[in-house]
Structure 1
Amino acid sequence: MFIELDLQSETPLYTQLIDQLIEGIASGELKPGEPLPSVRSLAEDLGINLHTVNKSYNLLKQEGFLQVHRKKGVIVQPDGMPGVTQEFEEKLRRTLRSLAAETAVRGMTEEAFVQQSRSIYRDILTNRGGEQR
């Protein structure tokens, strides 16, 4: 598993970690049922506080992306990923609205914005052999 955090970014480290783990799941790099490093181990590997990793894991567990077992440790959800919920659609809309506004202010066309979104979505799925949900 390859995780790269930007320590200079304004985006909190736990958010960066969550985003990269979700991308790993989406791309197929992280498979259902696959064990993840322990909180302590991942924190040491990334050179960050173990509470940051713990927060990321707990939030991903709450969202249904991970399971935490006493004996097995942290694993990628083996029983199917969370579906599209109203809360997720609202989060998506807020995020896209902010990006669309900045895109418009910077003078990028709607088609260029849509093409960038499409390209990124497809890039993530290429590791899964083009499989789309």
Structure 2
Amino acid sequence: MILEIDPTSDVAIYQQIRDRLVEAIARGELAVGQQVSSVRALAGAFGINVATVQKAYDLLRREGLLRTTSKSGSVVARGPASGPPADAVVAQWRERMSTVLAEARAQGVPDEVVLAQCREVVEGFARVREGS
């Protein structure tokens, strides 16, 4: 799997790394139990500070998507078929989703367009997982 980050983006690099890994998990490109690059390897590949990658991985661990052990390094801990998440995870996700949807409303995006785009994104994840 190849991660793409944009160093000129307004989005912090650690957030871009976190977001790309979450998207890869959602699409099934990273499966439960699959090892991800080490913090040092990923930092070296992008020429960024190790602490930046560590911050992204820390977020993913707190969200329950990664687990790290001294033996196996960092591996994917959850995926689309992992069953229902903890209530706290759902509450945090809903809060973030509410902000993104509020941004669309504040910009004047019609509700029908917001709903259609949400459906398109979710269906896109499923299409990639299904290989179509």
Higher mean displacement: 109-118 or 53-62:
53-62
Q: 1:94 to 1:59 in 2, by over 3 A?
A: closer
Segments ≥4 residues shifted beyond 4 Å: 78-82
Q: 1:105 to 1:56 in 2, by over 3 A?
A: closer
* Matched residue SS, 1:9: coil
RMSD: 2.3
Deviation at 1:82, TM superposition (A): 7.6
Q: Residues 1-133 of structure 1 correspond to what in structure 2 (within 5 A)?
A: 1-77=1-77, 81=82, 83-129=84-130
* Matched residue SS, 2:23: helix
Q: 1:49 to 1:71 in 2, by over 3 A?
A: same
| Structure 1: gaps of 5 or more residues | none
Distance 1:94 1:19 in 2: 16
CA contact (8 A) 1:15 1:56 kept: yes
Question: 1:34 is aligned with what amino acid?
Answer: Q
CA contact (8 A) 1:64 1:82 kept: no
Question: 1:111 is aligned with what amino acid?
Answer: E
CA contact (8 A) 2:63 2:89 kept: no
| Structure 2: gaps of 5 or more residues | none
Give the alignment's TM-score, normalised by structure 2.
0.83
Number of aligned positions between the proteins = 130
Give the alignment's TM-score, normalised by structure 1.
0.82
Deviation at 1:42, TM superposition (A): 0.7
* Matched residue SS, 2:53: helix
